Chain A
Amino acid sequence: MTKQTSLRQKIVVLCTSLVLITSIIIQAASWWSTSKFNKNQITTNINHAQHVFEQYLQEKEKLLATAARVLTADFGFKQAVTTKDADTITSVLLNHGQRIDADLMLLTDLQGRLISSSLTDFNLDSAQQRALKELLKEQSKTHFMILKNTLYQVLALPVKAPRPIAYTYVGFEIDSTVTNELKQLTGLDISFFSGNDKLLVSSMSFDQEEVAQTHLTSATLPWFFWDRPAYEGRQFEVTTSKATPINVFLTADLSPTYKEYDALIATITIIASLIMLAAILISGLFAKNLTSPLLQLVDVAKEYAKGQYDRVLPDKSMSQEMNTLFDAVSDMGKEINTREQHILHQARHDTLTELFNRHTFRQIIEEELHQSQNYLLIAINIRGFSNLNDALGIQIGDACLKALAKRLGNFDTDSKHARLDGDVFLSLIPIVGPEDASSSTQKFFEHLAKPLQLKSLALNLKFWSGITVYPRDSNNDPQAIFRRTMIALDASEKENQPIRYYQEGEEEARLERLNIVETLKEALTLDDGQLYMNYQPKLNLKTGKIDKVESLIRWQHPKLGFVSPEVFISYAEQTGIIFELTSWVVNTVLTQLADWQQQGIIIEAAINISAQDLSHPDFHMNLMQASSEHNVSPEHITLEVTERDLMQDEEQAVALLVDLKKSGYTISVDDYGIGQSSLAKLKQLPVDELKIDKSFIMELSNSETDQIIVGSTITLGHRLGLSVVAEGLENDESLELLKSMSCDHIQGYFIARPMAQDAFIDWLRDYEQKNS
């Protein structure tokens, strides 16, 4: 994870670097302008100094020229020169030289030979002679000359009498007095060097004895990591003999400038450091002021995340933006809290009735029920609510549910109520003990008994109800009490008991049923012979032949043993696997029929189907496919539907029956006579056959009433064009009666019990032999 810098650090770094950059720029700018200023100043000084120096030389030259001219014009001097007496001439040179403060006096003849000199033991060499002759070309102009290691400013003048008879050279020595005077005038040091780089004279004092010109141009002073030039200066030549050039250096000693500049830099550095320190402190303080509310906000946000919205934000005097942010966060907290409460309420309550919802109520049961307290749980289901909805509309239905919820809410303050789904409500009512259950229940239903007033409509509702007592019926499991209450409610409707208490062991039975269903699914999947078909022959009374069988499913489970078809078919219907079961039956029976057909046994088979099969969209298609697959004509298949299933009269089921009949299948009404159907209604259905319930047939010979019913039913069936089957035939008398009533087919133990296919074939052969 990368390290994140904090806002505080960033602010401090920003401020500090701004100050740093600013001070560096100021440093650089001041260094630049100062050094530029200094440079200009020095250049100006040097220009000035050079000018002064040249002026000085000119003045000196003029002075010298004037003085020398006066001197050479002196008649006595001329006279002395013409004497040719060396001593006289020397003395006059010294004498007249002193008059004009000249340091050097020379006298040469017109050929340049030295006649006399103010210097002792002095002779001109040839170079000096040439240099002196050069001087003659520009009389009254001075040259610098080195004579006996001393620098002179020399002027030449002829001695005229009146034609030139000799030349006089007058010179002033350039010594340290002169250079110091020049330094006073110019403010700069001045140094004279000979052509062979020998220092002649200087206003500067040097440590070393031998000083070269390069010292002045390249001497440096160490400064931190580099060197600075020690001098700034200018070199130029003064008029002299070409053979012996003399360089003059005007130099400014830079160290005072450096000293000032260094002091300036030091001051700026100190000021910048102080500002930087202040910037760090101030920006740190500022950043702290900025970030500490943010940290507080972080704390608040964390509390909000935990669902704690009651944190009061500090009402500090902060910046406007911070206050706004704090207000916004505070408002956000309130808003979230409100919304959370709202969502929580919605999550816990039924939106229509505002009662608790199923999920919440389960939680309440789990969390709030105490062993020490007895409770009554009553689940109610409005009887015929779907009819009410259909008749009066969903809006009235909803209003009814709301009114009922309100009524429940008014029952008593300790009770809690929930709407589970649709028209199912559940109430949790504290009671003192199990013995109070019935009185409380009575009170509860009395409370609900009063009609519900919906605007102008008064509704008298009746309920199915399932009731449990906690903890008696709980099996130490709060969830169980919920389940068991619902089981009781289911039973209430099934058993047509408006008030149905949970009965001990009920849930276990239900669980067993579920177990059986699971095992049945397994058996269907395995198809290993656990499930098999039995066939019960039907005797055609007109032909005296067995031309039909009813196929009946049987289940011999390896562990459970024989399971009653009524039980597992009923469970299959309840759990919705009846379709799979019927498919298996259809396949098995068609396989069997095809097998028999191959053996030359032509026989029709009846298959029982349930109402759920009829409402299944794939049933017809699957049946057709199976028929064609096994090459069994639909004419050989009779579909037996119970009267009760048939009378449910769902449009889809009726349409399917019409289609099935069109496809050639025979439709038979099973268990006819015990339901509530009328023959008139049957007439409208695509039915081919009536199968009179065995309850009319079993005691037929002993009951006149049954005889009347069976006889008239057969007659009516025939009249309506239906064939009639009687099942449950037990004795010969009844057989004879049915024959007399012109019944078409008979079925029962008197003919044969249902048999496995092998036994049936044996039985059939045997029967046909007997009756042939």
Chain B
Amino acid sequence: MFRPLRLKIIIPSLTLFFSSLSFSAPTVIQINDGDGQPLKNAVVEVLQQNSSVETPDPNPVIMDQVNKRFLPDLILIQQGQSVLFPNSDNIRHHVYSFSKAKQFELKLYAGKPKSSIPFEKNGVVIVGCNIHDSMVGSIYVAKNLAMITDDKGQVSLELPPTTSQISVWHPQQEANPEEREIFNLTDTRQIGGSGNYLFSIKTTPPPARDTFGDSFGYDEAN
């Protein structure tokens, strides 16, 4: 089975976020791909009418650029958080996004940009580099409680009692990359013990890296 993502996902605030919700038993949500295999790096967000999320972390989240790749290429941030796009390569990059949730452009630069980019709207922001087409990064700006699936394709969430819907998004989903699929918890079938859910979304394999330079510069050992 194709295992496309071997990226280390560093979410420093996540542990803290989960501990604050530990008053009730966590619900395990299993996400599978179209072939029934556990889907890693899927973002599961709990949809709530009245969000009671804490104020976002004022420190920007780092999305570095190493070997003509965004590192990490998927980050989950809260609405209102900022992301800093340092350039660790010795070449310049031109980072941009035309996504609905955020359009921005960091014209050819090297090193650390002057400022981080704030993400005021929730949604999916796809970032690219204008001069390196193969560089694709995803920033999931969550409004509510959200989590990325582990290697087993699972997330464990303390679901508020009023929760009726969740959304699932994945960078390689077949659907529009900026759209999230919404599932009703009531009409999905459970797995394992009570409160455990299984959802599937279809994915496509990521496109091969199609430039000579990209494949040449990429070091797989990292």
Contact = CB atoms under 8 A, between A and B. Distances in A.
Interface in A69-121: 73, 75, 78-79, 82, 110
B61 to A, nearest CB: 20
B211 to A, nearest CB: 11
A161 interface: yes
Given A73-B133, A82-B103, A161 B176 contact: no
A164 B126 CA distance: 10
Interface string A118-162: 000000000000000000000000000000000000000000111
A24 interface: no
A162 B176 contact: no
A233 B127 CA distance: 54
A165 B134 CA distance: 15
B17 interface: no
A160 B176 contact: no
B135 interface: yes
Contacts of B176: 110
Given A78-B98, A79-B98, A163 B136 contact: yes
Contacts of A164: 177
Nearest to B207: A160
Scoring A73, A78, A82, A162 by chain B CB atoms within 10 A of each residue's CB, the highest score goes to A162
Contact of A160 (B97, B127, B133): B133
B128 interface: yes
B98 A160 contact: no
A82 B129 CA distance: 16
A163 B134 CA distance: 10
A75 B127 CA distance: 14
B20 to A, nearest CB: 34
B200 interface: no
A163 B130 contact: no
Nearest to A81: B98
Contacts of B127: 162
A82 B130 contact: no
A701 to B, nearest CB: 192
Contacts of A160: 128, 133
Given A78-B98, A79-B98, A82-B98, A162 B129 contact: yes
Contacts of B136: 162-163
A79 to B, nearest CB: 7
Contacts of A161: 96-98, 126, 128
A140 to B, nearest CB: 11
Nearest to A75: B130
Nearest to A109: B176
Given A78-B98, A79-B98, A82-B98, A162 B133 contact: yes
Contacts of A79: 98
Nearest to A78: B98
A69 to B, nearest CB: 10
B38 to A, nearest CB: 24
Contacts of A78: 98
A164 B136 CA distance: 11
B206 to A, nearest CB: 10
Interface in A190-210: none
Interface in A160-177: 160-165
A163 B129 CA distance: 11
Nearest to A82: B98
Interface string B63-93: 0000000000000000000000000000000
Which of B127, B134, B176 counts the most chain A CB atoms within 10 A?
Answer: B176
B interface, over-half SS: strand
Nearest to A110: B176
A130 to B, nearest CB: 18
A163 B133 contact: no
Chain B interface category by residue count: 10 to 19
B108 to A, nearest CB: 11
A164 B103 CA distance: 16
B83 to A, nearest CB: 16
B2 to A, nearest CB: 19
Given A79-B98, A82-B98, A163 B103 contact: no
B49 to A, nearest CB: 30
Nearest to A79: B98
Contacts of A163: 126, 128, 136, 177
Nearest to A83: B98
A163 to B, nearest CB: 4
Interface string B161-199: 000000000000000110000000000000000000000
Tell which of B98, B133, B136, B177 has the most Cβ of chain A within 10 Å.
B98
A110 B97 CA distance: 18
Contacts of A110: 176
Which of B97, B127, B130, B136 lies at the interface centre, i.e. has the most chain A CB atoms within 10 A of its CB? B130
Nearest to A159: B98
Contacts of B126: 161-163
A133 to B, nearest CB: 14
A160 B133 CA distance: 8
Nearest to A111: B176
Interface string B128-165: 11100111100000000000000000000000000000
B132 to A, nearest CB: 9
A357 B70 CA distance: 156
A647 to B, nearest CB: 166
A769 B115 CA distance: 221
Contacts of B130: 75
Contacts of B96: 75, 161
A75 B133 CA distance: 10
B164 to A, nearest CB: 28
A75 B129 CA distance: 10
Contacts of A165: 98
A79 B136 CA distance: 17
A427 to B, nearest CB: 150
Nearest to A73: B133
A124 to B, nearest CB: 20
Nearest to B138: A163
Question: Taking each of A73, A161, A165, which has the highest tally of chain B beta carbons within 10 Å of its own beta carbon?
Answer: A161
Contacts of B129: 162
A115 to B, nearest CB: 14
Interface string B38-63: 00000000000000000000000000
Interface in B104-135: 126-130, 133-135
A162 B103 contact: no
A365 to B, nearest CB: 145
A731 B129 CA distance: 205
A164 B173 CA distance: 12
A182 B159 CA distance: 68
Contacts of B135: 162
A741 to B, nearest CB: 188
Nearest to A165: B98
A592 B94 CA distance: 185
Nearest to B175: A110
Nearest to B176: A110
A524 B21 CA distance: 187
A346 B136 CA distance: 143
Interface string A392-416: 0000000000000000000000000
Nearest to A74: B130
Contacts of B103: 82
Interface string A48-79: 00000000000000000000000001010011
A82 B127 CA distance: 14
Contacts of B128: 160-163
B75 to A, nearest CB: 16
User: Ordered nearest first, which 8 A-B pairs have the shortest CB separation?
Assistant: A162-B128, A82-B98, A163-B177, A161-B98, A163-B126, A162-B136, A75-B130, A110-B176
10 contacts: A73-B133, A75-B130, A79-B98, A82-B98, A160-B133, A162-B127, A162-B128, A162-B136, A163-B128, A163-B177
Given A162-B135, A163-B136, 11 more contacts: A78-B98, A82-B98, A161-B96, A161-B97, A161-B98, A161-B126, A161-B128, A162-B126, A162-B136, A163-B128, A163-B177
Interface of A: 73, 75, 78-79, 82, 110, 160-165
